[in-house]
Chain A
Amino acid sequence: MTTLTVNGTEYPLDLADPRVTLLDALRDRLDLTGTKKGCDQGACGACTVLCDGRRILACLTLAAQCDGREITTIEGLESHPLQDAFVRHDAFQCGYCTSGQIMSAVALLGENRAGTDADIREYMSGNLCRCGAYSNIVAAVREVARHA
């Protein structure tokens, strides 16, 4: 039996068939649907979660590989200032990429890399937004980074 620790809670997981990605385990087995499936091939960043504090793509990670790891998803954030900033800056339209954007930005703040707008764009470049809300996403991240 594999054990996934997600947002502080331990979940036993039957992976007799190991073809389960972390993304599918979160959404289909644990009913944590905040993490989104965009491209499902590591190109869009919608499935970004934290694994032991580092941002990764849940779609290219096998759930079995996360045995004993600490996973943090958007559901694990407790009214993070970035969530508030995304709302106030209107940093989305359809919202599908937003949980990935926020998880990526949470990690970015921890990496101390949000120095300039150019840095924010570079270090958020693994998160695509088909609605093109980029300028407002940068504004939201910038605001939280300045007040951090």
Chain B
Amino acid sequence: MHEFRYERPATVAEAIRAVAHDPEADFLAGGTTEVDLMKDGVFHPDLLVDITRLPLRGVRRDGTMLQVGALTTMEELASDRTLMERAPFVVEALLRGASVQLRNMATIGGNLLQRTRCRYFRDPAVPACNKREPGSGCEAVNSVARMHAILGASPACIALHASDLAVALVALDAVVHIQSEEGERLVPLTQFYLMPGETPDRENVLRHGELITAVDIPLPPEGTRSIYLKIRDRASYEFALASAAIAVIMDGPVIKEARVAMGGVGTIPWRGFEAEEVLREAPATPDTFRSAADGTIRDPFIVPGTAFKVELAKRTLIRALTEVTS
């Protein structure tokens, strides 16, 4: 592991200042991605600023919204009673997202910033990775690929965004609070992530020295039904091949309102706006679900190893819609 200095400032302002004034500094929270990638030699910060004891922890209800401190752990958020009652699919996404040990360490802010599991990104011995070394190419496109993205992908990068939580949160239009020395800004999670395009190394709108301090989760109206369906290679403790986060309001057999997002398929947590348009005011029938799926999985970028995901993702969405509306 590259040598680094370790600091534990007492306030949010000091932590932000410490990182902002050192281009090689990074915040350290749960460490479940960061320490791992430092051991692998993918990250090599000179300074780690430990933020785990800053007062950014806890869940607060504010009207029809939950405000979640960025340092709340996955396990803590998963046990929030309001979330369980009003948006159980967020809890399902949290519980299916990692083992209890990891959930006790990993924070909500860190979860949103987790890095891809692409094995070529995580192995510095692989020379070609545009995300790790801009301009070096993409080994995944030409080699063995499977746990990779088919939506938002390009010949420059097919790295998957592996979060489960973020999928449910983009469906609910969560909002990220970002603090810097200049002040606070709010960014909707649907606009937080960047598709790789020509700059796969830029994954989100955060600038150096900016810190996520909280996430606002709007609670869906009472009576909303929701589901997080995760399809994977083993029953537990595995990343998604495809997942669907859906919230619907039904009026008899008709879908009044729908929120759809998919995981396991996108370079970013994938909001299914097209599916929502198809579903709104439509009867809950197999034909409706198939058109919603066709609308979501449009123009996929596939390589031989990921071709199977096109139909798998559609069937995942159809099954989730069938279960949540019946």
Contact = CB atoms under 8 A, between A and B. Distances in A.
Interface in A105-147: 107-108, 111, 121-123, 125-127
Interface in A52-103: 54-57, 60-62, 64-65, 67
Contact of A56 (B39, B105, B235): B105
Contacts of B8: 64, 67
Interface in B222-249: 235-237
B116 to A, nearest CB: 15
Contacts of A126: 98-102, 237
Chain A interface residue count: which class?
20 to 34
B99 A21 contact: no
A56 B104 contact: yes
Interface residues of B, number: 27
Contacts of B98: 126
A42 B36 contact: yes
A24 to B, nearest CB: 11
Q: Interface of chain A, helix or strand or loop or mixed?
A: mixed
A40 B226 CA distance: 37
A123 B99 CA distance: 7
Nearest to A19: B1
B3 interface: yes
B104 A60 contact: no
A35 interface: no
B35 interface: yes
A89 to B, nearest CB: 21
B36 A62 contact: no
Interface in B21-61: 28, 31-32, 35-36, 39-40, 48, 50, 52
A7 interface: no
B6 A62 contact: yes
Contacts of B4: 18-19
A45 B50 contact: no
A18 B35 contact: no
Interface of A: 15, 17-19, 21, 40-42, 45, 48, 51, 54-57, 60-62, 64-65, 67, 104, 107-108, 111, 121-123, 125-127
